[in-house]
Amino acid sequence: MSTPIPPSLQIIPVPGIPEINPGDDLSNLIANGVTQACGLLEGDVLVVSQKVVSKAEGRLVTVDPDDPLAHKPLVLDEARRVLRRRGDLIITETKHGYVCANSGIDRSNVAPDIAALLPEDSDRSARRIRDAIKGQLGVSVAVIVADTFGRPWRRGLTDIALGCAGIKPILDLRGTDDAVGRELHVTEVCIVDELAGAAELVRGKSTGVAVAVIRGVDPAWFGSGSVVEDVVRHPSEDLFR
């Protein structure tokens, strides 16, 4: 019993979103940028860089521009606990539950005297953007707030989802049949992380493209859910902390 062949996906970069400052109406700027780039269709997934969300929400702290380690005390402020340290590298579990370097604080794509913190609640940020897009353009989309994280065991970074709205973060394929009819026992795919990574492929790091649209995803993926509640693994279930 196979399900139908899925259609192609398209991943579209959205340029033209200006430099964001605290208090800017990010959703409005995204709506305008997307309208110029490709429009929005019911069922599109909008992937938004954490950095512009943090800027719009004023999650910025002034630091000494001449001290490359000036943001390190903030790392501990934003952490629930420190998991590992090696030299200047600090791996923490953040207040939200993410495990990442430097509590997700970084100083790229901001002014030299600024450090950007993660949004307070990226799921809420995603819901706000989703609601505002619905209000302004009349279209229901899913929204993912994405950031670039390292991971153990493998070199190189990938983009993952910090928050989401309007989409099921994890697709539960348990109990569906695989291609030869055997029941799949443990296949829960984290589609929001795969979508965030896919968007990174067109956003790049240096292009100032803070938003991408992913078009053509399975309508069955839409629904409700939260990255922090559904994706972040509770420490008691985790073997590597």
CB 67 within 8 A of CB 168: no
**24 near its own copies, rule: CB under 8 A:** no
Nearest-10 crossing angle of helices 122-137, 26-37: 60
CB of 23 to its own copies, least distance (A): 19
For its own copies, the binding residue among 66, 138, 179, 219 (CB under 8 A) is 179
For its own copies, the binding residue among 28, 39, 42, 84 (CB under 8 A) is 84
CB of 118 to its own copies, least distance (A): 15
**140 near its own copies, rule: CB under 8 A:** no
For its own copies, the binding residue among 53, 126, 202, 211 (CB under 8 A) is 202
Nearer to its own copies, 135 or 205 (CB): 205
> Can you read off the two tokens belonging to residue 128?
């706000």
Nearer to its own copies, 86 or 219 (CB): 86
Tell me how far apart the alpha carbons of residues 80 and 107 are, in angstroms, rounded to a whole number. 21
Alpha carbon separation from 148 to 25, 157, 237 (Å, rounded): 23, 6, 24
CB of 103 to its own copies, least distance (A): 14
Q: Supply angle C-alpha 197, 203, 206, rounded to 5.
A: 120
CB of 137 to its own copies, least distance (A): 20
> Can you read off the two tokens belonging to residue 160?
């993952």
